[in-house]
Structure 1
Amino acid sequence: MASTPLRRLFHWGPIAVLCIIKLITWAMVHLIGMWWPPTESVGGAVHAAVFLLFAASTLYYFLQSLMEGPGFVPLGWKPDKEEDKECLQFCSVCNGYKAPRSHHCRQCGRCVLKLDHHCPWINCCVGHLNHASFVKFLLAAVIGCLHASIVLSICIYHAIHRIWYIHNGTGSEPMIYLTLTTLLLTLLAIGMAIGVVLAVGTLFYFQIRSILKNQTTIEDWIMEKAVCRHMEQGLRPFVFPYDLGRKRNFEMVFSAGYDGIHWPVRDGCGEYDLTLEQLSQKRDKLSRSRLYRCVSRYSGRWLPLLQSPRAALAAPCSTEPRLPLREGDSVRVTRQRRYWLFGEKLTGSGEGRGPRGWFPRECAAPAERSRGNHAKPD
């Protein structure tokens, strides 16, 4: 189940963000107070006020995107019309249908409205309700850290070279004085600020590009597969139904006029075009899958060093779960790597759907071969 806003806050991601904000803010306030005292200079006061404005905005929009959450599809949701169920995917975890543009998040444990991605820094998904706040958080963080990285770098330079400035012509010479501890903390703050500018700035660019296309990160992947599928099968090009033009696309993220379930589409497109394309892609994926049978038990450990050293050294770089298996279990494999397989455990007669995840390749064999192996006498 989805965690409460307060529980989301007590996680390494939000705690790390709060520590970074505090460190950079402390360094700026501490050094500006010596280099350009706000109480004695209009320029210093403006400098401090501008930074504190962006620091406060970063904190505010960060907490808003975390506390508000992405918005979840109601448990057990189904469309108003019975015939529309054939156009939607069913989520066995939430025991309901996935609304258009919604997807299930394993970390949140719920189907998320207009899911873009799961962000560990806010410890929840970026979705319909908090997408605008998340983008504002990124913008404020980038501008504030760009300002901080420039000012702190100048202050460090003056502190190291012991440059003094005549203040108001009185002969007083304010000096930037740093102890070893404050010097190291300031250097760390500069590194953090530059890192935020580069990493978060890149994320902000991709978010703006997605917003102008009205296309989430997941929908971007779906469109890539749709283009290839339609080209390979000789179908007419697939048209993304939610691209209404840059101005309207921008408004759809930053306005509150949508419920997250019903979305306007461009002329000539249907409400369920994208979900029908997803269903077609899943059918194609299922037709290419292979049935495997477990030949040796796998505990589900992420690094099975004793059982499979080669697989442990080449583990998938993914947050997707591992799939514990017992001898005789059947798995429908949809993805393969050199030492790992990804699939879904089959239950009952082989048609029931079970948990999914990665498991070492040497723990299973294609169903025909594994049956042949078991048929041999000892």
Structure 2
Amino acid sequence: MAGGVPWRRLCHWGPWLVLSGLVLCGLVTLFATLLWAWPVHRSGGDGGGAIVHLAFLLLWVPTLLTPYLHAVFAGAGFVSVGWRPERSEEARLLPYCEKCQSFKPLRSHHCRQCQRCVLKMDHHCPWINACVGLRNRASFVAFLLLTPTAGLHSLCLLGSTLYQEFLAPVFLVPAAGGSNSTLVVEAAARYPFGVPAFLATLISFVVTLTAIPFMVLLGVNQLNGLLRNRTFIEAKIEAKAAERFRERPPRPTSPLPL
């Protein structure tokens, strides 16, 4: 159950795919950077580039995992079972949930997956196996906006690895003591870029390339909702009400008594 013990929310295909994708792409990008894209043992002296990229890659780990895990474990926040407002006049204005046996505060809705009423519910997200709502929407949006940036960084490093190992495997290095150039094989001679490395790099490249537009679309959608102060459910309700209004416009009434 998504609304149960927080750590059990990880026992679902959504968090499994997200965390597996982050670990796979992160590790492959890390090894590709250190061994092939900007290898620390490069004879041309460009090993410093690997250190810079390594620092950014290590920085992305807490930057992405912190908001994602907070969105999973914190949850959206639930209405207490049996809750009712202190004032009886307020109770008459609030809807009542028969399943939770409690009144629903404004902007809260009952989630069938979580089997609870969720505070300021936006939607139930399978990727975190929980609802997005009052307590975790900020961290959820932060994860959506930060992931494409990290993905672009990873995409550049993975693409550089594939380019150097297939399109430019041989580099020109100035010969010592003269102006002539000697053809040398760089990192590939020391750490062969075999079939397993190629498949891992290619799969990570495709996964990252596919995930970036998906995350951008979700992030823009969530950011638009925040700027308009609308949840996904409220936007659907407004759209449905506007459609019904167009289909059945109200009859004009005279301001004068007849």
**Fold conserved between structures, TM > 0.5:** yes
Counterpart amino acid of 2:79?
Answer: V
* Structure 1 position 9, deviation (Å): 1.1
Structure 2 gaps of 5+ residues are 177-181, 253-258
Counterpart amino acid of 1:193?
Answer: T
Output one character per residue of 1:106-154: Cα deviation in whole Å (capped at 9) or x when no partner: 1111111111111111110111100011011112211111211122112
* Structure 1 position 163, deviation (Å): 2.2
Report % sequence identity.
36
Instruction: Quickly say closer, same or farther: Cα 1:165–1:50, change in 2 above 3 A.
Output: farther
Query: Which of 41, 57, 75 is residue 69 of structure 1 equivalent to?
Result: 75
Distance in 1, matches of 2:251 and 2:120, equals 27
Are 1:66 and 1:123, in contact at CA under 8 Å, matched by a contact in 2? yes
User: Are residues 1:21 and 2:22 paired?
Assistant: yes
Spell out the pairing of 1:278-297 with structure 2 (5 A cutoff): none
Instruction: Quickly say closer, same or farther: Cα 1:167–1:206, change in 2 above 3 A.
Output: farther
* Structure 1 position 166, deviation (Å): 6.0
Who is 1:324 aligned against?
none
Instruction: Quickly say closer, same or farther: Cα 1:85–1:29, change in 2 above 3 A.
Output: same
Output one character per residue of 1:156-182: Cα deviation in whole Å (capped at 9) or x when no partner: 121113524468987875324322122
User: Are residues 1:194 and 2:209 paired?
Assistant: yes
Who is 1:178 aligned against?
193
Instruction: Quickly say closer, same or farther: Cα 1:127–1:153, change in 2 above 3 A.
Output: same
Instruction: Quickly say closer, same or farther: Cα 1:199–1:112, change in 2 above 3 A.
Output: same
| SS of residue matched to 2:110 | strand
- Greater helix fraction, Structure 1 or Structure 2: 2
Instruction: Quickly say closer, same or farther: Cα 1:190–1:82, change in 2 above 3 A.
Output: same
RMSD value, Cα: 2.4
Output one character per residue of 1:9-53: Cα deviation in whole Å (capped at 9) or x when no partner: 121111111110111011111110122135863332222222332
Are 1:58 and 1:137, in contact at CA under 8 Å, matched by a contact in 2? yes
Output one character per residue of 1:254-281: Cα deviation in whole Å (capped at 9) or x when no partner: xxxxxxxxxxxxxxxxxxxxxxxxxxxx
Query: Which of 234, 257, 261 is residue 250 of structure 2 equivalent to?
Result: 234
Aligned length: 236
Counterpart amino acid of 2:215?
Answer: V
User: Are residues 1:46 and 2:52 paired?
Assistant: yes
* Structure 1 position 77, deviation (Å): 1.3
Q: Compare relative contact order (CA 8 Å, sep 6+) and give the higher one, 1 or 2.
A: 2
| SS of residue matched to 1:186 | helix
Counterpart amino acid of 2:6?
Answer: P
Query: Which of 70, 86, 90 is residue 84 of structure 1 equivalent to?
Result: 90
Query: Which of 100, 116, 139 is residue 133 of structure 1 equivalent to?
Result: 139
Distance in 1, matches of 2:208 and 2:63, equals 16
Are 1:38 and 1:48, in contact at CA under 8 Å, matched by a contact in 2? no
